[in-house]
Chains A and B, each alone.
Chain A
Amino acid sequence: MERLSKIATQLEQNCTSAVDKVLAKHPDDVVICGAYRTALTRGGKGGFKDTDSADLLAGILSGLIEKTGVDPKVLGDVCVGNVLKPGSGVTEHRAAQLAAGIPYSVPFVAINRQCSSGLMAINHIYSEIRTGEIDIGIGAGVESMSNDYGPQANAPFSAKMSANPEASKCTIPMGFTSENVAAKYNLSREAQDTFAASSFNKAAKAQDAGFFKEEIIPIKTTITDKDGNDIEIIVDSDDGIRRGTTVESLAKIRPAFKGSTTAGNASQISDGAGAVLLARRSTAEKLGLPIVGKFVRCRTVGVPVELMGVGPAYAIPAVLDDLGLRTDDIDIYEINEAFASQALFSCQHLRLDMKKVNPKGGAIAFGHPLGATGARQVSTLLTELKRTGKKIGVTSMCIGTGMGAASVIVAE
């Protein structure tokens, strides 16, 4: 009967899956016009050891502008995540914006949610675009752990905070939270070393195949050699990836804290930056900008302070539930490897297919410049999604003082 078939046809066209909904293109989507990063180099030793975070940021911002061809005047905001610089670099990084050729008329904001700061910067721009406050903006992250990492990064706690049992947990060093996770969820030293060795091997393979070339913008900088001479160099590749790392070689490293976390199965101290140009789709099309992906959604959740590493295990379901997606709808997971313990636990808790997790390695292999990581992951994820012809990716990280963040990104 025509009446019934008519209604059935009208409805069946709309029986779209959550995946189709996420992939659908609408003019008010927030799209990614370009996502790049600098090389990540070893703290105190690598190519950026004498480069200030503001110089790194100026380099990545001008590189992003050149790559995407965006007119810096049209930007509505620049938001930069940073953890360690005093005031999260609110003054120095405004200077870097100006040095990169983005005029004073474009405002700047510094943002700090610990290791998720780079992602929070992107999400801040995303939210401003969604609410209509701006049309286009840059979310970035930068960290010079060589220059800014150390005791000066944390002020002493007040007597009241130290006396409060819950509040005082915020002073627990990250390494001890890693031990807490490993102990609570029975993650053996061997399991953690296996995870770490795999990260090194994947990263080495990806670097040899040139997979990082597309996402890295080379930065010209100066480095002081051992004789005190300033030498101009171009840094264009990650220098922390140790080749030939095996479970056996990692097993020889002694624990850094008390149990199973070692320098070999924890993230490296690094310098680096990442930057993402985001715009409303209608704006990007009007300006003729490249569209390489879509920033779909980001969520942050709180977790116990002393188990901060479990963050991804709770943040990923939060963002997937919002979108009606299941874990196996995701093609690639970029989960920050702050420690093998917490990354492994998060994957096991979510029963993730390990082949989908960090296919090019992670922070254990090439480093975790705290404020930069969230932005770095987006470029690493997008280039891999595009290279492999996949569509939906997730980035996630644990956050010191007990949080987790996760975002869903679609390659276009």
Chain B
Amino acid sequence: MLSFRTTDYSGYATAYSPFFDSTIAVATAANYGLVGNGRLYIVDLTPEGIRERCHFDTQDGLFDLAWSETHENQIITANGDGSIKLFDLAAQGHLPTDGRGGPSFPLVNFTEHTKEVFSVNWNLAERTTFVSASWDSSIKIWSPTRPQSLLTFRRPVDSSANLDPTATGSVPLIQTPSNNITINSHDSGSSDCVFSAKFSPHAPSILASAHSNGRLSIWDIRSPQALVMDIPVNGNNTGEVLTLDWNKYRPTVLATGGVDRAIKIWDIRNLNPASASAPVSQTLSPRAKLGNCINVIYGHELPVRNVSWSPHSSSKLLSVSYDMTARVWEDRADSTRYAPHMAMGAGNGAVTTFDAHTEFVVGCDWSLWGQEGWCATTGWDEMLYVWQA
């Protein structure tokens, strides 16, 4: 296990570089991200441990980051002030020793969201776009070369807990050019925060989003009816869905984590209305289909803040939680080696519990590099840990 202290800054997200096996970025925020500055750390794994290469300071907390898939020195960050910033490591940022260095300014500042941006995710399949999710209820698709967004999506405004079957069919789906976002902008950020949006690594036009109203939504950005699936993750209950991740090997499988402490595994291909509770399916429009929950993993004692499927295994999953632990699970739902019911149960799929963190654990990522099973976690205890599951 290696560690690095992001002194005075609470970790919110961490990611391995897709280009260099020894480089990790950490998005952090002062004062637990409640108020104050943010800082993007770039650190290197060296034989002497983790060493800071440089950092970039921002005027509001950073909640997420994503490495560019096309440019080895570029990183985008999700900012508390609603901006998305593109940093270039070649511009160096501040050096750790003297607090000075090159300029800390971003190359590009994307400013369309009106509230906290909570997630950014690079399109792994097509590599030239990224997606952002914000508490202003919108999901935006961007190109790093254009200051304006390419597309904006919002869920129908009345689709919170119970969709009115008569209304949902007629609600126009919002897919407007970004300079037109005032149309259908309901300022409904408090009613629908988007906590995460991620492109499918298998299909460049499919993305999934996690919502404060308890929905996992699947979008096809080519379609005029972009919202293709709307899955009530908790049945009739509206517990917030805080995180999601696409399985890297099973194109139709996703994991969600949320306030109900459960990690749920979904297969969006096998749509079986009977698999969810009946009253919900009756209140949904035909378009808003139900996904098939193929596994539920209980174990975390508090909300699950982040989930990440292993890049090396179709069944390994890393999760981090407010309960101060990071855990690794073996999802057995897809395995013929076990009876189907073996998939369930808190103890059945548990592989590792990592309990070195002393505060909420918020960010996590698997290493793509070298020996499999290495991962990085960060949290409110101002620590980055690199450990082997």
Contact = CB atoms under 8 A, between A and B. Distances in A.
Interface of A: 1-4, 6, 10-11, 13-14, 26-28, 130, 132, 135, 280, 282-283
A2 B190 contact: yes
Nearest to A24: B298
* Binding site secondary structure of chain B: loop
Interface residues of B, number: 27
Contacts of A130: 345
B93 interface: no
Interface stretch (B71-79, B215-223, B336-344): B336-344
A386 B193 CA distance: 43
21 contacts: A1-B34, A3-B33, A3-B35, A3-B116, A6-B193, A10-B303, A11-B302, A11-B322, A13-B259, A14-B259, A14-B261, A14-B302, A14-B303, A26-B298, A28-B344, A130-B345, A132-B338, A135-B341, A280-B341, A282-B341, A282-B344
B240 interface: yes
B242 interface: yes
Given A27-B296, A28-B344, A28-B345, A10 B338 contact: no
Contacts, number: 47
B232 to A, nearest CB: 17
A14 B259 CA distance: 8
Interface in B76-135: 80, 115-116, 135
Nearest to B261: A14
Q: Which 5 A-B pairs have the closest CB atoms?
A: A132-B342, A28-B344, A28-B345, A10-B259, A10-B303
B303 A132 contact: no
A87 to B, nearest CB: 31
Contacts of B193: 6
Contacts of A11: 302-303, 322
Given A2-B190, A14-B301, A282-B344, 15 more contacts: A1-B34, A2-B135, A3-B33, A3-B80, A3-B116, A10-B242, A13-B259, A14-B302, A26-B296, A26-B298, A28-B341, A28-B345, A132-B338, A132-B339, A132-B342
B59 to A, nearest CB: 15
B291 interface: no
B345 A10 contact: no
B28 to A, nearest CB: 15
Interface string B60-74: 000000000000000
A114 B261 CA distance: 41
B252 interface: no
Contacts of B272: none
